[in-house]
Amino acid sequence: MGDFLHMGGYAFYVWASYLLGLIVVVVNLWQPRRAEREVWRQLKRRRRNEERMNESETP
Amino acid sequence: MWAWLHRLGSPKRFYGWSGALARWAGWGSLLLGVAGLYYALFASPPDYQQGESVRIMYVHVPAAWLSMFIYMNIAFASLISLVWRMKVADMFAAASAPIGAWFTFLALVTGSLWGKPMWGTWWIWDARLTSELILLFLYLGYIGLLSAIEERDTAARAAAVLALVGVVNIPIIHYSVEWWSTLHQGATVTKFEKPSIAWTMLRPLLLMALASTLFYIMVALRLARAELLRREADSTWVRELIDGHQGGGNR
């Protein structure tokens, strides 16, 4: 295990690369998730407002 | 054929098939990525010259591949959007840009992290590194241009033109190591020749490259779909979709 983490003396360079790769993946997983949640929230809010308007128009 | 493509590119149809494709690409990416990481970190030998530092390659090369592949996708989608005015192509191109910028950044930094122990320097202003840096600026310029122009169709058209002009840079990146002298090593995997790399190292490389490509497809499609819903919020098919989802989850 120690050997594995040591990476033949290149530990910093190798692990920094993999960590950075992980960060890029996580950011790119989070972005579409955020966009989807945001757009669905907007769509549903809009729908609710429309329904409210319709109700007030027909007493 | 063209009529068929046009139908696939209609917003409602696109929303339908892209959801399934994104899901499959996501699971495929996870599967191949886990296998790729296993081979990259555990089940591949150290290089006889570069030792364990060669494992940086399994992050660096897929990132660099994706940086160019995504750009070509943006350019292709831009062409389609300019010629056929296909809205979906615009959205796909716009969704691809930030992903491309991230992976270009990753390719540059992991290149640096590999260059320091192997070449003795973080950076040199040679053709390969400089043209890849220009690629990052092209992505940032594209994103900036899209957000700078108020009117959406004008913005999309301007960005599409920029993307197409920037295509010149892609063969420069690719051939830079052959045309100019450099510290950067030549291509290990080409389409036409037998790869100059042992199978034990090629296997994790291909797995990681394929996993990242699928990852990109998944992220780009999901971003494009979210944007599509936002723009088509008033259309009948989106209304039906919302009704179908009332009280349900996000899908």
Cross-chain Cβ contact A38/B51 below 8 Å: no
What is the signed CA dihedral for B76, B82, B86, B88, rounded to 10 degrees?
50
Tens digit of pLDDT for each residue in A5-43? 878 788 889 999 999 999 999 999 999 999 999 999 999
Which among A8, A32, A43 has the least Cβ separation from residue B223? A32
Tell if the CB–CB gap between B226 and A35 is shorter than 8 Å.
yes
Residue contact A21–B106, C-beta within 8 A: yes
Cross-strand pairs, B47: B51
* Chain A CB contacts of B55 below 8 Å: 7, 14, 17
Q: Can you give the pLDDT of all 251 residues of chain B as single tens digits? A: 777 777 777 888 899 999 999 999 999 999 999 999 999 888 888 888 888 888 999 999 999 999 999 999 999 999 999 998 888 999 999 999 999 999 999 999 999 999 888 888 888 888 889 999 999 999 999 999 999 998 988 999 999 999 999 999 999 998 888 887 777 887 776 655 666 788 888 899 999 999 999 999 999 999 999 999 999 888 888 988 888 876 554 44
**Which segments of B85-194 does DSSP mark as H helices, in order?**
87-119, 127-148, 152-166, 169-179
A16/chain B closest Cα distance in angstroms: 8
d(CA A17, CA A19): 5
Distance CA A43, CA A48 (A): 9
CB nearest A39 (choices: B110, B215, B226): B226
Of B53, B215, B230, the CB nearest to A13: B53
Give me the half-sphere count of Cα atoms (radius 13 Å) on the Cβ side of residue B247. 2
Residues of A with CB under 8 A from a CB of B: 4, 7-10, 13-14, 16-18, 20-21, 24-25, 27-29, 31-33, 35-40, 42-44, 46-47
Q: What is the pLDDT of residue B180?
A: 78
